[in-house]
Amino acid sequence: MTTQPETIVVLTMGGTIDKVYFDALSEFQVGEPAVTRLLHLGGVACPFRVIELTRKDSLEITDQERAHLREQVAALQERRIVVTHGTDTMTDSAKALADVRGKTIVFTGALAPARFQESDASFNLGMAFAAAQTLPPGVYIAMSGQIFPGDRVRKDRRNARFEAI
């Protein structure tokens, strides 16, 4: 007898993973969350549900929105959560959830929009889903082919990757 895997809740905050570019001047909007499409394309059989919280570049996310994210996570009955988020302030939001107990929370995003052929979005999302299913409670960041504790990672903008600190 096999047991059904736990449902993973995906909370979307926006960021590059959801960006839509309109012209050569790189003007963009944060569009509809790409996560549902990516999970279906990946053939994900694990039950999941997606909740859109914001559609913002992470540089525009406020402390009030981080507090709202924390409230939403704490209120969920599910214990396994993935948060898609812009990479510039992902670590700030991870820190805002550091005291949430009993839940495995994995932040992920992309350095190139999911709509781009050469995006890291699908890979990062897949890693985040695996991490959410297998790691103990805590806050993590899944980026650059690694899983980091949420409070011991930084974005290296010059080399376009995340690294441990």
Model confidence pLDDT, tens digit, residues 59-94? 999 999 999 999 999 999 999 999 999 999 999 999
Residue-wise pLDDT for 122-160, tens only, equals 999 999 999 999 999 999 999 999 999 999 999 999 998
Alpha helices (runs of H) in the chain, residue ranges in sequence order: 35-41, 63-75, 90-96, 121-134
0.75 cut: is pTM over it?
Answer: yes
Q: Any idea what the CATH number is for the domain that residue 101 is in?
A: 3.40.50.1170
User: 127 and 63 in contact (C-beta within 8 Å)?
Assistant: no
At residue 16, does pLDDT exceed 90?
no
Residue 3 lies in a domain: no
Query: Which structural domain range is residue 131 located in?
Result: 8-164
Question: Residue 58 carries which DSSP code?
Answer: G
Tokens found for residue 31: 């569009």
Residue 61 lies in a domain: yes
Residue 12 CB-density burial (10 A; 0-12 exposed, 13-18 middle, 19+ buried): buried
Degrees to nearest 5, angle at CA 104 with 32 and 94:
65
User: 139 and 149 in contact (C-beta within 8 Å)?
Assistant: yes
3-state helix, strand, coil in the chain (%, to 5): 30, 30, 40
Q: 115: pLDDT confidence band, cut at 50, 70 and 90?
A: confident
Tokens found for residue 130: 């695996």
Residue-wise pLDDT for 31-63, tens only, equals 778 899 999 989 999 999 999 999 999 999 999
Distance, CA of 150 to CA of 138 (rounded, Å): 8
How many domains, in total, are found in the chain?
1
Residue 1 lies in a domain: no
